[in-house]
Amino acid sequence: MRELLFLAHRIPYPPDKGDKIRSFHLLQHLAHGYRVHVGAFIDDARDWSHVEHVKKMCGETCFVALHAARAKLSSLAAFATGEPLTLRYFRNARLAHWVHDMLGSRRIERALVFSSAMAQYVEGPSADRMRRVLDFVDLDSDKWRQYSQRHRGPMRWLYRREAETLFEFERRYAADFEASLFVSDAEARLFTSQAPETAARVSVVENGVDTEYFSPQRVYPSPYGADEAVLVFTGAMDYWANVDAVAWFAREVFPQVRSNFPRACFYIVGARPARAVRDLAQLPGVRVAGAVPDIRPYLAHARAAVAPLRIARGVQNKVLEAMAMARPVVASPQAVAGLRLCAELLEWTTDVPEESARLLLKLLGEPATAAFGDALRTHVCRHYSWHENLARVEEILEGEASARAGDAQHARQ
């Protein structure tokens, strides 16, 4: 069987947050055609319990604990070397030795590197014989640029530096690797507009949704009170962009909704809520649920899902999952920028607080929104099949697919 090296900045299981959803489905798909050897970091102690599950899908594995405080301290060396902090943060001697040993002892001719931070492990002569594919997913450097625009003082400078230095490495990796992947045409266009010399090596591989799992046809017990008319946000709640989104919504939009519809409640559902998120529970009608074993009941019984992201890159899985559950969605332009054109969703897209409140009050006042939800699910079922979207990855690994941003088959409908 063909052998493949798969490197990821976070263990690709369980698929409970954006990057791990994509990396898990990638690994699962590739394991059917390759003997996949996985090297990855584990930054959440609870994920060690999932190592055996991943090993069953793989050949050789190397999992390395990533302690945030130590990694941040180590990353400070980047100021002396001129590197981005991100590369130093994810630099580890043990993982580097494992990769070197694997390449020296096995006939590994292909590598799938998940996130630009992991590309540093397959540089140099030992990697020259491999066909290397880098899945950027989205453009991390632009995320830091957006962060810099939302901060002041030293943090603004720090984020701007990270955006500039990381982009130079992203650009170099895209030129060196045989192919680079992005999650959407918008991400690919953004990158190639700044690094046009890489355009011939850039391809789009969109995300998917498990529409059997996220099905509105199943029966879910309601997690809400009988008199609550719920608006829900789902996502990892220690991620700054999500924290910023729910704080803005809870303070700028939701009070307008609740003053006109007193039964309205805003539920924030997601693991590891930051202190700024937990504090929102003091506001009238705001509920911080934290980690839950299954988000589907929270989506199924909500009047609408909200995605008021002001900082966003790539494709928002939270939006796709709500659409798959046939839930109405009110989102910001940033949250839907990476999605295929969906006319029904665009009508409910805004970042103006008063307009967001108006749209949500319309949904709360007219709960018979089945047609809207059904249209969103139909869109997801038509365009976001994991199997169909990921079939392209194997073609790219084998050098059988044209690697051009905006290929005809990926053009927006």
* Structure confidence by residue, pLDDT tens digits, 80-109: 999 999 999 999 999 999 999 999 999 999
Kindly state the helix (H) or strand (E) to which residue 274 belongs, with its residue range: none
> The tokens of 46 are what?
């609870």
pLDDT for res 324: 96
pLDDT band for position 410 (50/70/90)? very low
pLDDT for res 59: 95
| pTM, two decimal places | 0.86
> The tokens of 362 are what?
């319309």
Task: Tell me the pLDDT tens digit for each residue of 236-288.
Answer: 999 899 999 999 999 999 999 999 999 999 999 999 999 999 999 999 999 99
Beta strands in 166-212 (DSSP E): 179-182, 202-204
pLDDT for res 273: 96
- What average pLDDT score do residues 107-132 get? 92
| Euclidean distance between CA atoms 302 and 323, whole angstroms | 12
pLDDT for res 404: 42
CB 192 within 8 A of CB 395: no
| Euclidean distance between CA atoms 304 and 364, whole angstroms | 8
Task: Tell me the pLDDT tens digit for each residue of 127-172.
Answer: 888 999 999 998 999 999 999 998 899 999 999 999 999 999 999 9
> The tokens of 305 are what?
């899902």
Task: Tell me the pLDDT tens digit for each residue of 183-199.
Answer: 999 999 999 999 999 99
pLDDT for res 401: 53
CA angle 59, 60, 64 (to 5 degrees): 135
- What average pLDDT score do residues 28-43 get? 96
pLDDT for res 39: 98
Length of the chain: 413
pLDDT for res 367: 61
Strand order of the sheet with strand 179-182?
A: 61-65, 35-42, 3-8, 110-114, 131-137, 179-182, 202-204
pLDDT band for position 72 (50/70/90)? very high
Give the contacts of 397 (CB within 8 A, at least 6 positions apart). Answer: 4, 110, 112, 131, 133
Task: Tell me the pLDDT tens digit for each residue of 322-343.
Answer: 999 999 999 999 999 888 888 8
Residue 51's CB is within 10 A of a number of other CB atoms, namely 14
pLDDT for res 24: 96
Return the percent helix, strand and coil in the chain, to nearest 5.
50, 15, 35
Give the contacts of 258 (CB within 8 A, at least 6 positions apart). Answer: 264, 284, 285
pLDDT for res 406: 40
pLDDT band for position 413 (50/70/90)? very low
* DSSP three-state, residue 326: coil
pLDDT for res 193: 95
Residue 119's CB is within 10 A of a number of other CB atoms, namely 26
pLDDT band for position 207 (50/70/90)? very high
Cα separations in angstroms, 212 against 27, 99, 329, 386: 19, 37, 20, 12
pLDDT for res 75: 95
| Euclidean distance between CA atoms 330 and 51, whole angstroms | 37
| Euclidean distance between CA atoms 307 and 309, whole angstroms | 6
Q: If you average pLDDT over every residue of the chain, what do you get?
A: 92
Task: Tell me the pLDDT tens digit for each residue of 353-407.
Answer: 999 999 999 999 876 567 889 999 999 999 999 999 999 999 999 987 544 444 4
